[in-house]
Amino acid sequence: MIQAEGVAAVTDESFEREVLNAGLPVLVEFTADWCPPCRQLAPVLSAVAREEAARLKVVQLDVDTNPETMNRYGVLAMPTLLVFRAGEPVKSMVGARPKRRLLQELEDVLQSLPAAPARP
């Protein structure tokens, strides 16, 4: 799996604990080693995870080794980004995108949460 720096990996076994039972909204990237757009998205996910850590948890799931979760949520293309809130999927996005666009697309999920502290 293409591991984004600062982004935890989840598995079929840990998905419920790490995603469905999380206190924050969770952005899950369904990814695979053979996926070029997933490589492009890795630094974007790292930046979002770092910048929005107070409001959003970001994780990755390797679809080749965790097909159960992929099938449960009907994921057909890589990368697929699903946002979970209170254990339910609330947003779905497919394909790589720049950080600015991803943050814009996440705005509705994050707007009701406290703003992240400003960085010096």
Question: Does residue 92 have a pLDDT over 80?
Answer: yes
pLDDT digits (tens, 9 = 90+) for 37-84: 999 999 999 999 999 999 999 999 999 999 999 999 999 999 999 999
- Asked if 24 is an active-site residue, the reply is no
State residue 110's pLDDT score.
86
What's the CA gap between 120 and 118, in Å, rounded? Answer: 7
**pTM of whole model > 0.75?**
yes
Enumerate residues 6+ apart whose C-beta is below 8 A from 21: 87
State residue 2's pLDDT score.
83
Beta bridge partners of 29: 60, 81
Question: Does residue 30 have a pLDDT over 80?
Answer: yes
The fraction of the chain above a pLDDT of 70, given in percent, is 92
Q: Which of 38, 56, 75, 109 is catalytic?
A: 38
Q: Which of 7, 19, 35, 41 is catalytic?
A: 35
Answer yes or no: are the C-beta atoms of 86 and 33 closer than 8 Å: no
What's the CA gap between 78 and 67, in Å, rounded? Answer: 13
pLDDT digits (tens, 9 = 90+) for 93-119: 999 999 999 999 999 988 866 555 544
- Asked if 38 is an active-site residue, the reply is yes
What's the CA gap between 100 and 110, in Å, rounded? Answer: 14
